[in-house]
Amino acid sequence: MEKSDFRKRLFCFDGKTLGEWYGYVKEWRASESQSSQPAQLSDLNESTIKLVLDCLPVKDRLNFRNTSTKLQNISDSHPLHCKELKLNICYDAACLRLDNLELMFDSVENTPRGKIIQRDHVKRALRRLKMILKIPELKLENVTIKVASCVNKDWQKEINIALASFNRFLESLPHKIHVENLRIQCANLEIMNLLLPFIAPKVLKSIEHTGLEVKGYGTTDDEGTKKIQDISMTDQWWKARELRMCHNFAYLINYFGSFGRFRLITLLPPFSRIQEVRLIKSILLKLSPRQILTMRISVTDFEEICEKYRYCMTIIQKDRHAVYKYFDEETFDIGLKLVGQEYYAKIRRRL
């Protein structure tokens, strides 16, 4: 059978399960050899198997590695492109998603004796994540890791133990992880500090970190500041082109000199108007001419900044939008309500 004919038949079976593929290959091999002897998927040549791999869903592609040594070697040598990898960890459960594959890890286990609470869902989620990251040719476009805050000290201790084990795994990994856009939502910089050094530097395009605990304008703990300093020395940090940062670390702009683009993320509860204007002024004066600052800011604040600093800034884009609130905390009214106007603006420093 010609390769073009085989591609046409593959197209008809796109999205089928591994079992359906096996039945198809068995039928095809029988018709080709004019024999009714059963065929194995590993009987196909390497180029044909790779054509099959391109059409398999993510779930079956992962199971493909466990069928035989030959198929595992072929699978590991063939790129696996995934648009999104998400890991969401909270006190009660963890969720791991790889494109259309979603895995839930619950802290409550149902047994004949009843429900048993076991806080090992983080270990189980990270164990499965390790299996995914072991694939040498894994290509991830977007990676999102979200770790919810919790005041329970015992659970936080379990988190730290699991992360220490995950760190040892990353150190033993023979290859760098292929990630284009990294997004982390956590109350501290532990995850960023842990993961960033093991990402392929020339591949990473953007870094985003949100969810940091706000302690006021220009104030963070010394440990957090030290971690920003350490992270800013990595190749991954210097070679990424875009940084999305939250307010309470934006004042450390001296460590963001390598980035071409900044996106300033508004945190809830927001800073006061005076603090926000002061922060943006500080950032603007420290920007290099090649850097671009992207932000959402109230019309009044933006006009004040433009009036005082128009001699040293160039407006690249300025789009005005209405701001609506669905729930009023004071009156407890529910419904869309116009609360103001804001700009989505891109500015650059002018020499």
| pLDDT value of residue 39 | 55
224 and 187 in contact (C-beta within 8 Å)? no
Among 252, 256, 345, 249, which residue's Cα sits nearest to residue 294? 345
| pLDDT value of residue 176 | 93
CATH architecture of 272-351: 2-Layer Sandwich (3.30)
343 and 328 in contact (C-beta within 8 Å)? no
Among 284, 293, 291, which residue's Cα sits nearest to residue 343? 293
- Joined tokens for residue 138: 């894994």
What residues of the chain score a pLDDT lower than 70? 1-42, 109-119, 151, 211-224, 246-251, 257, 264-276, 323-339
Per the confidence metrics, is the pTM higher than 0.95? no
pLDDT digits (tens, 9 = 90+) for 176-187: 999 999 999 887
Q: Kindly tell me the burial class for residue 248, based on how many C-beta atoms sit within 10 Å of its own C-beta (0-12, 13-18, 19 or more).
A: buried
296 and 344 in contact (C-beta within 8 Å)? yes
279 and 251 in contact (C-beta within 8 Å)? yes
pLDDT digits (tens, 9 = 90+) for 200-242: 988 999 988 876 654 444 445 566 677 788 888 888 888 888 8
Helices marked H in 173-246: 190-195, 222-231, 235-239
| pLDDT value of residue 21 | 58
HSE-CB for 164 with a 13 A CA cutoff: 6
303 and 343 in contact (C-beta within 8 Å)? no
| In the block, residue with structure tokens 């932000």 | 295
Q: In sequence order, what are the beta bridge partners of 150?
A: none
Among 101, 14, 87, which residue's Cα sits nearest to residue 51? 14
Concatenated DSSP letters of 235-248: HHHHH--EEEEEHH
Strand duo 101-106 + 93-98: pairing: antiparallel
Arithmetic mean of pLDDT over the chain? 76
The 3-state DSSP class for residue 124 equals: helix
| pLDDT value of residue 12 | 44
| In the block, residue with structure tokens 């284009």 | 180
| pLDDT value of residue 289 | 79
| pLDDT value of residue 217 | 43
- Cα(241)–Cα(259) distance, integer angstroms: 5
| pLDDT value of residue 60 | 81
Strand duo 138-147 + 292-298: pairing: unpaired
| pLDDT value of residue 185 | 87
| pLDDT value of residue 294 | 83
Backbone angles phi, psi at 166, to 5 degrees: -65, -35
- Cα(28)–Cα(35) distance, integer angstroms: 10
Q: Where in the chain is the domain with CATH 3.30.110?
A: 272-351
